Structure 1
């Protein structure tokens, strides 16, 4: 009888954990595309909007930075896998790069310094190897990265847009689109990309804000955040077993 009761509690725990996960994922999936942005910002036309006609996923995320656009721009200008990096989870970026069989030593430094040699980006330069390149930019205002023009049928598009506020700060809007031919309207694909990509993009935006405001992230912070993610998962699994 004790064994049966324990098994029953385990199944109930698993079921409740699954329900909570589904609810949390559903809420997150609804909030992620417009995280941090206002309805007006979401409706705003941004550079690069014309590149993908039928994206399977489209985000407009926003964050306020306590610095002027001129102070934020150098951190945007030097972004790229072999330049300043993307200020996100470096160990994840390097792991993905390693899967492509590439030497990761020169990729994704996620620097805490402004490098003068990276402050003059050129149209067509690789942003993620050669599959994701700089398509357009205007200093102190925006930068657009997407596949090369001959590959516009699908891929990833990113626009970083800087808008000055009346009090001298900056609104950073990040428009991200993913287009996969034949996958338009596929909710499963949309949900998968939402959940898998948001953690990295949010970290990037917070990383830009932190650096532009004069902060510096210690190496241990990224590992601590990863540990919290795994602890959360572990707690859910333990609860399901009790």
Structure 2
């Protein structure tokens, strides 16, 4: 048998790596930390994004009740407390806060959590039930310009929610489940962007946020402070 051409060998290795990612790695990323019941259950906010497909479902358990977790979610935003993830990647190098700020706790539907320091992009509060559920929505055309989701959609757009569901567990603990819905046009581009970009990047950022939220809420983060009245 003759020697296999180096390009053919490389192609075979790339194909094997791709197959391993799709069959083994990707299914784990799409449900990181979540149970079968959490993945299979209806997730709130389905009607927020018309035609939206369910995104990954990820979860963690925090050793504190929802009343102590919620304030950290309520103050998110680049112009507020940050996102508690990789700050160099999603918060433009600004460090996420390690304490609660009473002035950022009043949140209502329609409020905007800035996604850029100049306020040109944002997550809008699309639904909330304090200490139970928070849905953030971002609606952009494919040039990165926000559009009003209540009006006519552009021909090419991305419209998605990033949502947090809190359930109280025995022993003063919280089960935090994160999921959402996403619609992108042109439609053919959505599965490609999902597999190649959205899913791996979301996993990197969400697992980091989970870890940092746990440290802050549970009081294990240096400088973490819960002001009186917010405990």
| TM-score (normalised: structure 2) | 0.74
CA distance in 1, matches of 2:133, 2:188: 27
Q: Runs of at least 4 residues of structure 1 off by over 4 A?
A: 10-17
Partner Cα distance (1:184, 1:160) in 2: 28
Q: Give the Cα separation in 1 of the matches to 2:10 and 2:178.
A: 37
How far apart, in 2, do the equivalents of 1:205 and 1:28 lie? 20
1:208 is aligned to 2:213: yes
Kindly state the Cα deviation for residue 17 of structure 1 after the two structures are TM-superposed: 6.0
The Cα shift of 1:207 comes to 1.6
Deviations 1:147-172 (A, max 9, x none): 37932654220111110112321100
Between stretches 62-71 and 126-135, larger displacement belongs to 126-135
Matches within 5 A, 1:1-242: 18=14, 21-26=17-22, 27-56=24-53, 58-95=55-92, 108-127=94-113, 128=115, 129=119, 130-147=121-138, 150-151=148-149, 154-183=158-187, 186-192=190-196, 193-216=198-221
CA-based RMSD = 3.0
| Shift in alpha-carbon separation, 1:155–1:67, aligned structure 2, 3 A | same
- Aligned CA distance change for structure 1 residues 11 and 19 (closer, same or farther; 3 Å): same
Instruction: Answer 1 or 2: higher relative contact order, Cα 8 Å, separation at least 6.
Output: 1
Where does the alignment leave 5 or more consecutive residues of structure 2 unmatched? 140-146, 224-231
Instruction: After TM superposition, give the deviation of residue 184 of structure 1 in Å.
Output: 6.0
More strand by share: 2
Provide the aligned length of Structure 1 versus Structure 2.
Answer: 201
SS at match of 2:134: strand
Q: 5+ residue gaps in structure 1?
A: 96-103, 219-242
Following the alignment from structure 2 to structure 1, what is the Cα–Cα distance between the partners of residues 53 and 42?
18
1-structure distance, mates of 2:18, 2:61: 30
Question: Which stretch of structure 1 is more off in the superposition, 194-203 or 10-19?
Answer: 10-19
Q: Deviation of residue 50 (structure 1)?
A: 1.3
2:53 touches 2:182 (CA, 8 Å); kept in 1? yes
Deviation per CA, 1:152-200, whole angstroms, max 9, x where unpaired?
Answer: 6542201111101123211000013321033268532220221232211
Any idea what SS the aligned residue of 2:57 has? strand
Conserved? CA contact 1:82–1:109, under 8 Å: no
CA positional deviation for 1:56: 4.7
Q: Provide TM-score, normalisation by structure 1.
A: 0.71
C-alpha deviations, 1:77-105, integer Å up to 9, x for none? 1111211111011001245xxxxxxxx7x
Q: Pick closer, same or farther for the CA change 1:215–1:17 going to 2, 3 Å.
A: farther
C-alpha contact (below 8 Å) 1:123/1:134 kept by paired residues: yes
**2: CA distance, partners of 1:24 / 1:82:** 40
Q: 1:17 to 1:88 in 2, by over 3 A?
A: farther
